[in-house]
Amino acid sequence: MLTKRIIPCLDIKDGRTVKGTNFINLRDAGDPVELGAIYARQGADELVFLDITATVDERKTLIDLVRNVAHAVNIPFTVGGGISSKADVSALLNAGADKVSINSSAVRNPDLINELALEFGSQCVVVAIDTRYVDGEHIVHTHGGRKPTELRTLAWAKEVENRGAGEILLTSMDTDGTKAGFALELTAQVSGAANIPVIASGGAGSMDHFVDVFTTGKADAGLAASIFHFKEIDIPALKGYLQTKGIEMRMTL
């Protein structure tokens, strides 16, 4: 049985880690280099770094900060924000990223997914899907959740897989930061429709929420931010708890 993954997320704004609720009301959560190092030591399976205003500010991801985080961690490291070309990906991989996450640029130019998968391999390409429930439909949003699109979430998830994405990072904007639990029905639908791993994001507030997302939600990985940043849940304790619930985890010594 494949082990499930626990992934802390560093949302970056102006070089600092921030966290909000439903993608707004951001508050400072600390230094990303320090946090990344802590999570690596605690046994996090991977780390995700999202420069959440890069697309809105029409600039590239903070390469120097990526390099500093990469030096501080020894676990797979995914970087997203402002990525729109093969050159952007090359720069990030050279700075120490293991994978890249694309969202707005993939919606704007879906062929980019094919190009990156062909150039760097599907294992390197994560497509982030930020979705909100609007008028009875799960709708894909871009630009850090600011812009709704015409895309339906389930259909887009299938398309990105067909185009060569290696993973989907699925964030429910409706549950994000609420600590009320992951969007289980949506996660299960996407996990069932896609044959690539699905990382569930948005809503983690307790250890049982991770149990739910791995069982009912059928996710391959659970991503969270504030509960880790503000020391509400300890990663080793979380993994130990999940194991007692029969969920296979990679445990560190």
222 vs 210: CA distance, rounded Å: 7
- For 69, the token pair is 């985080």
Q: Is the dihedral of CA 20, 24, 25, 31 positive or negative?
A: positive
| DSSP helix/strand/coil, 126 | strand
Residue 165: strand, helix, or coil: coil
- The active-site residue out of 45, 130, 176, 220 is 130
Residue partners of 186: CB distance under 8 A and separation at least 6: 131, 138, 153, 170, 172
Cα gap 12→7, rounded to integer Å:
16
**Active site (annotated) includes residue 130:** yes
Long-range contacts of 114-119 (CB under 8 A, 24+ apart): 114/163, 114/164, 115/86, 116/86, 116/89, 116/164, 117/163, 117/164, 117/165, 117/166, 118/164, 119/86, 119/89
Which residues have a catalytic role annotated? 11, 130
